[in-house]
Chain A
Amino acid sequence: MGRGRGVTRAVTDTVVISGATAVASGDAEPAPLLALLALIDVAVADRGTGPELTIHNPTGSPLRIAVEGVGDISIPPARSAVVPLRAEPGGPRLHLQALSTARSAVVTVTVTVEPSGDGPVAVGQAIGALTC
């Protein structure tokens, strides 16, 4: 295998962020979990109906999000949306792709909730990359 034509362009501005936090419960503010590229902020809480993510769009343009098992949502500038984690055999889980046309960037986020001696812990990982 050699270096192929068209394969030599450098990857630029790719980022991997890993975050974990205790799940906020009751009336507490959602606990910040991930913040990426000034493109998306993710926090987690459980208000008694199961864990849910609060996804905030800090940008000045709509954030288009595809959520696995849910569908597409769009978050207006400076607004948030709440998405419940899906109940799966391994525990609550959510996988989404967020696309910012204004920033020409795409972000993949995966979050699960894991048991721990201190209560449920949300564990998230985000991969972000520019698309231009």
Chain B
Amino acid sequence: MLTRELVLPGGARSRVLSCSKDLEPGVRAMLLLDEDLFRLDVMIVGDTLQSFVRNLTIGELEVSGEVGQPRVATTTLGLAARYAPGRADLRFAVGPEDDRVVTEVTIATLRFGDRGAIRVSAQGIVRRG
């Protein structure tokens, strides 16, 4: 996993997390971790990608009602269609009421049928609310 700090316009701080793993169907694996905030696991079941957010804060976990409907453009180039590219999106907030942190995650997948694996890549942008 790669983690980098960002300084947003106006001086606010943010963080970008990313990870990529090859998973077998039915295997649950950690994808993103912010040790103070959350852990995101995923599991592929059939054609479904299941996500699990573990809240590591004392505040409530709230998941966006807009999941699956963000403005995301997808493009497939060259031979990539043979690997059945897909994507999913997740947005959630954690942390105490006076210090909420919002994380937007985009997950991209590719299927490698010959070796029975699915590559799952994720990028999460963590922002103070």
Using a CB–CB distance below 8 Å, which chain A residues touch chain B?
1-22, 33-34, 66, 68, 90, 93, 95-97, 99, 104, 106, 108, 110, 112, 114, 121, 123-125, 127, 129, 131-132
Task: For B108, list chain A residues within 8 Å (CB).
Answer: 16, 18, 125, 127
Shortest C-beta distance, B60 to chain A (Å), equals 8
**Binary contact track B44-83/A, C-beta < 8 Å → 1, others 0:** 0000000000000000111111100011111111111011
Task: For A123, list chain B residues within 8 Å (CB).
Answer: 79-80, 83, 110, 112, 119
Interface of B is mostly: strand
Shortest C-beta distance, A53 to chain B (Å), equals 14
Whether A66 and B4, one on each chain, are in contact in the complex, defined by CB atoms closer than 8 angstroms, is yes
Task: For B119, list chain A residues within 8 Å (CB).
Answer: 110, 112, 123, 125
Taken together as a complex, chains A and B put the C-alpha atoms of A16 and B20 apart, in Å, by: 14
Whether B9 and A3, one on each chain, are in contact in the complex, defined by CB atoms closer than 8 angstroms, is no
Interface residues on chain B, number (Cβ under 8 Å): 53
Whether A106 and B123, one on each chain, are in contact in the complex, defined by CB atoms closer than 8 angstroms, is yes
Taken together as a complex, chains A and B put the C-alpha atoms of A93 and B92 apart, in Å, by: 30
Shortest C-beta distance, A83 to chain B (Å), equals 14
Whether B4 and A125, one on each chain, are in contact in the complex, defined by CB atoms closer than 8 angstroms, is no
Whether B74 and A17, one on each chain, are in contact in the complex, defined by CB atoms closer than 8 angstroms, is yes
Task: For A13, list chain B residues within 8 Å (CB).
Answer: 71
Task: For B62, list chain A residues within 8 Å (CB).
Answer: 1-5, 7
Taken together as a complex, chains A and B put the C-alpha atoms of A13 and B70 apart, in Å, by: 9
In the complex, the chain B residue whose C-beta lies closest to that of A93 is B20
Whether B78 and A7, one on each chain, are in contact in the complex, defined by CB atoms closer than 8 angstroms, is no
Specify which of A10, A19, A22, A132 is in contact with B70 (CB 8 Å cutoff).
A10
Task: For A129, list chain B residues within 8 Å (CB).
Answer: 104, 106, 123, 125
Whether B93 and A6, one on each chain, are in contact in the complex, defined by CB atoms closer than 8 angstroms, is yes
In the complex, the chain A residue whose C-beta lies closest to that of B64 is A7
Taken together as a complex, chains A and B put the C-alpha atoms of A12 and B66 apart, in Å, by: 13
Shortest C-beta distance, A67 to chain B (Å), equals 8
Task: For B100, list chain A residues within 8 Å (CB).
Answer: 4-6
Task: For B61, list chain A residues within 8 Å (CB).
Answer: 1
Shortest C-beta distance, A104 to chain B (Å), equals 7
Taken together as a complex, chains A and B put the C-alpha atoms of A114 and B71 apart, in Å, by: 31
